[in-house]
Amino acid sequence: MVEKTRLTIEQLKAGGSAVVKKFEAAINPATYSLATEACFTDENKLLKEQAEKLELPALVLDGTGVVPMGDGDPLTVPQQLNKLRDVITTPDGDTYRSRPVVRVSWGPLQFEGRVKKVSVTYTLFAPTGVPLRATVKLEFIGPDTPPVGEGRATVAVEHAQLRKQLQVSADTLPQICFNAYADPARNQSVARDNALTSIRNLPPNQTLVMA
């Protein structure tokens, strides 16, 4: 008998692959979609590849007691929703980031990014008005890919096993750190790692390695 795997959403520690907290779906989604988009110039030249997007259109949360939730006491729909929101929207010990990096895993699906939108539709209620079932729509956006062009600083960022390159419009290291990690305070350590003498007015096409 094939063991059932459940969709999991894990919050990752800033700048690493360690799992901070996790949400596990009691009911796997019926569908999900992945999308990418490219931007072109008027001359039909590739300008930029937009970040990959993941959409879970209907993640069902059940509080009727019919659906087994594994170990621990059953959670109500509001409790499940609070747990989900805590994982995808509340960064652990990091006041700079409004949205933490999460990893969505289910079978071959392995997606890392940040949640962009959360919509909740309540579909079943107890006589007291307490919600017993809800459908959550989640939209995630992955890391940016580098736009084509010159005069911008290129940042090589290694996060977990995912390596991405960001090409940002600002030419100051604090802004680059904010775009890459949502943490401008990391500019000093990045400057040391790259033997930079200044955190401002970086040369065009400067490549920075950020751990």
pLDDT at site 150:
40
Cα distances (angstroms) measured from residue 97 to each of 13, 15, 42, 91, 170: 12, 12, 36, 7, 19
Q: For the chain, what's the residue count? A: 211
Which of 141, 175, 201 is the last residue in one of the domains?
141
Query: Do 27 and 125 lie in a common domain?
Result: yes
84 occurs within a structural domain: yes
pLDDT at site 182:
58
Query: Do 131 and 89 lie in a common domain?
Result: yes
Cα distances (angstroms) measured from residue 106 to each of 7, 44, 101: 5, 37, 17
1 occurs within a structural domain: no
pLDDT at site 2:
64
Query: Do 193 and 99 lie in a common domain?
Result: no
CB atoms within 10 A of CB 204: 10
CB atoms within 10 A of CB 146: 16
Cα distances (angstroms) measured from residue 100 to each of 4, 67, 132: 28, 29, 28
pLDDT at site 174:
74
Q: Are 152 and 168 in contact (CB under 8 A)?
A: yes
Query: Do 174 and 197 lie in a common domain?
Result: yes
Instruction: Report, in this order, helix, strand and coil percent for the chain, each rounded to 5.
Output: 15, 40, 45
pLDDT at site 164:
37
- Assigned token pair, 48: 């930029």
Range of the domain at 56: 8-141
196 occurs within a structural domain: yes
Tell how strand 53-62 and strand 131-141 pair up.
antiparallel
Q: Are 129 and 38 in contact (CB under 8 A)?
A: no
Query: Do 78 and 118 lie in a common domain?
Result: yes
- Can you give the pTM of this predicted structure? 0.65
Which of 119, 141, 163 is the last residue in one of the domains?
141
Cα distances (angstroms) measured from residue 202 to each of 16, 114, 173, 188, 210: 26, 28, 8, 14, 15
pLDDT at site 120:
97
148 occurs within a structural domain: no
- pLDDT per residue, tens digit, the chain (211 aa), is 567 899 999 999 877 788 999 999 999 999 999 998 777 766 676 656 678 999 999 999 999 989 887 667 789 999 999 999 999 998 876 545 568 999 999 999 999 999 999 999 999 999 999 999 999 999 999 976 555 444 444 444 434 333 333 334 445 777 777 666 656 677 777 777 777 777 776 766 666 766 5
Strand locations in the chain, DSSP E?
Answer: 8-12, 19-24, 33-35, 38-40, 46-49, 53-62, 102-106, 109-125, 131-141, 153-159, 162-168, 207-210
- Assigned token pair, 33: 């979609």
Among 85, 86, 78, CA closest to 134: 78
Which of 86, 107, 141 is the last residue in one of the domains?
141
Type of residue found at 55: E
